[in-house]
Structure 1
Amino acid sequence: MDTDDFHDVSHSLSHSQGGVSDPLVDTEYARLQQRYTDAGYREGIGEGKLSTLQSGFDEGFATSVPPARTVGQLRGRAAALLAIALSQEPSQESSHESSQEVQSLRALVADLAAVRRDDVLAPDHEAVAHEAEHHDADDYAFEYDRNERRDMEGLERGMEGIGGRKEGLREEALLASLETRVDEAEARVLA
């Protein structure tokens, strides 16, 4: 029984559980340090992504909302003018003029309905370069979820070169032209 280490006090003090020389303390410290480092790294990445996303959203919102709002206002004004023109009972002599005005307003409403976001927003050259750099030409753009409307826009874009829609005014020039047409129609209808 003299060889039993269980009662050896000197051995017990040198490797006491939780003491400075306990190997489990070093292992546990390293594990905790790594865990907090990883958590801090993840939080930093998350915060960085959020700040980047927020600034991207703010920039996109500031760029796209004013033209989209203008198009919406023009569509509403043109539709209201058409409703007013249709509700007015023309006299015998102004029947032809009234019919021409209704046709003109219908054409204006149709032109406004045909305006797409790509027509009034400047192309995002950074996004186009990113797409070209990271995706094959055969891949669908990942920016938007596919839906029936976007598929139709893609089909319309494909038909543009075959005599469909002609390249015309874009962005501010298109908005200014449409606004002038609505203002002129408003002056005629409400006169």
Structure 2
Amino acid sequence: MDDEDIWQENPQFVRDAEWDKLSSGFTNAGYREGITAGKESALQAGFDEGFAQVGAPIGRQLGILRGIASALLSFLQASPATPEKAVIVDEVRAIVSQLGSIRFPDIAPPDLEAVRHAREHLGDRRLEEADEAEMPVPEEVQEKRSIESLEDMLAQMGGGAAETAKRPTMDDVSKLQARLLAICTQLGLSLQWS
């Protein structure tokens, strides 16, 4: 008996084989769709949480500071010049410049959950004990950092700065905010924001 005879003599065998194939295909497709939906759901939830707790508040604070500093500089430049005001204009101009050089990654807290996750999936015990600085960096992040480093070098060349530029931190933003508020108080301007 050859293979063709088996298929012709046992149609139930053919139906069962086809059913198993279809069932397996739908099970696999459902599994893949479930994993994809789960990943998308977790990704969206992570984005929502990160945006609400980190991105929006930091972006809002930095945007308000930049707006106030720029408006104050415009106001001061439009009013009559005095030697005392020239000193204040220079100070506000420096604040505007410093606020303009701040990038979100400079002041955002590290995503500790992402670091932990990467360490778990790399499976290297040494990474679990290592500092964040020793954490392998994805290629696209390395490229971005490389470009930012070039931008920093160009800024140093243009400004004549001889020392190595240090990227600003959230503490630097707080100091700029305090300086800006002090200038506003000195000028008799009242600012309130939360």
Normalised to the residue count of structure 1, the TM-score between the two structures is: 0.68
Distance in 1, matches of 2:187 and 2:146, equals 37
Aligned pair count? Answer: 161
Matched, 1:103 2:103: no
Alpha-carbon shift at residue 146 of structure 1 (Å): 4.7
2:106 and 2:167 in contact (8 A); partners too = no
2:66 and 2:99 in contact (8 A); partners too = yes
* Structure 2 runs not aligned, ≥5 long: 1-8, 124-133, 157-161, 190-194
Alpha-carbon shift at residue 85 of structure 1 (Å): 0.2
Alpha-carbon shift at residue 57 of structure 1 (Å): 0.8
Amino acid at match of 2:163: G
- Could you tell me which residue of structure 2 aligns to residue 141 of structure 1? 138
* Structure 1 runs not aligned, ≥5 long: 1-14
Normalised to the residue count of structure 2, the TM-score between the two structures is: 0.67
- Could you tell me which residue of structure 2 aligns to residue 180 of structure 1? 178
Matched, 1:46 2:43: no
Amino acid at match of 1:179: Q
Aligned-pair identity (%):
32
RMSD: 3.4
Amino acid at match of 1:116: R
Determine which structure has more spread, i.e. the larger CA radius of gyration. 1
Partner residue of 1:85 out of 76, 90, 113: 76
Q: CA 1:133–1:26 in 2, change beyond 3 Å: closer, same or farther?
A: closer
Q: CA 1:176–1:190 in 2, change beyond 3 Å: closer, same or farther?
A: same
Deviations 1:92-148 (A, max 9, x none): xxx1111111111111111111222233211224445628949xx8x863455956x
Q: CA 1:145–1:73 in 2, change beyond 3 Å: closer, same or farther?
A: farther
Matched, 1:112 2:109: no
Runs of 4+ residues over 6 Å off in structure 1:
none
Distance in 1, matches of 2:111 and 2:38, equals 22
Q: CA 1:182–1:116 in 2, change beyond 3 Å: closer, same or farther?
A: same
1:78 and 1:182 in contact (8 A); partners too = yes
Q: Which has the higher helix share?
A: 2
Alpha-carbon shift at residue 179 of structure 1 (Å): 1.6
Distance in 2, matches of 1:146 and 1:89, equals 47
